[in-house]
Chain A
Amino acid sequence: AQKVTQAQTEISVVEKEDVTLDCVYETRDTTYYLFWYKQPPSGELVFLIRRNSFDEQNEISGRYSWNFQKSTSSFNFTITASQVVDSAVYFCALSEEDNYGQNFVFGPGTRLSVLP
């Protein structure tokens, strides 16, 4: 069965620090998709990124970057120069091929607090 682990339950940093959120996954499929979502206190889950299992290129979007390593089954998320608005719960998620949500599994989440 597929599984997503986010070992960091809570992280606190001071504004402008860099922070990395870890995500480790398990799956038997060769084709799968990995996601990161942000959930601010308002509750809405905001989609950040989707990566398929055949694309190991790292991605950068502004202050956000993602490091996908199949060899270690990890899909880590780094925020550079963190800001107070980055405070939220971040979920890593895994979906296997050709399934409308049947195998869409969330990790337990990491609560990030960015202090001014």
Chain B
Amino acid sequence: DTEVTQTPKHLVMGMTNKKSLKCEQHMGHRAMYWYKQKAKKPPELMFVYSYEKLSINESVPSRFSPECPNSSLLNLHLHALQPEDSALYLCASSTDTDTQYFGPGTRLTVL
């Protein structure tokens, strides 16, 4: 089973809203990732959690706040976003062999 699930599939929010994106995997992977993907571009790494600790933060604005409650769950808390933050947000997980398995993504629109 190589399934990574993400909720919601679509999200529309205003610039003053607070929302959260959720990601879950049950493959026993100890690394989890958040990526942002704009149209016609490759995914850009935002955050990496390794053994439930934040190991990489690619200079992402503080209006994005990741959280890893346990080894199976990864959240991305959103607050005071800008319209340019509208994108596909992808979650992935991996073992130490580096193959990342991706979820279906959340399409976020910020109005």
State the A residues within 8 Å of B (CB): 33, 35, 37, 42-47, 50, 91, 95, 99-102, 104, 106-109
Give A106 Cβ to nearest chain B Cβ, in Å.
4
Main secondary structure of the interface of B (DSSP, over half): strand
Q: In the complex, are the beta carbons of A44 and B102 less than 8 A apart?
A: yes
Interface membership of B66, Cβ < 8 A: no
- Cβ contact of B101, chosen from A47, A108, A109, cutoff 8 A: A47
- Tell me which residues across on chain B come within 8 A of A99, comparing CB atoms: 98
Set B33, B101, B105: member contacting A101, Cβ < 8 A: B33
Sorted from nearest, which 4 A-B pairs have the closest CB atoms? A106-B42, A45-B102, A100-B31, A44-B104
| Contact status A109-B104, CB under 8 Å | no
Q: Does B94 reach chain A (CB closer than 8 Å)?
A: yes
Does B81 belong to the interface (CB within 8 Å)? no
Cβ-based interface call for B100 (8 A): yes
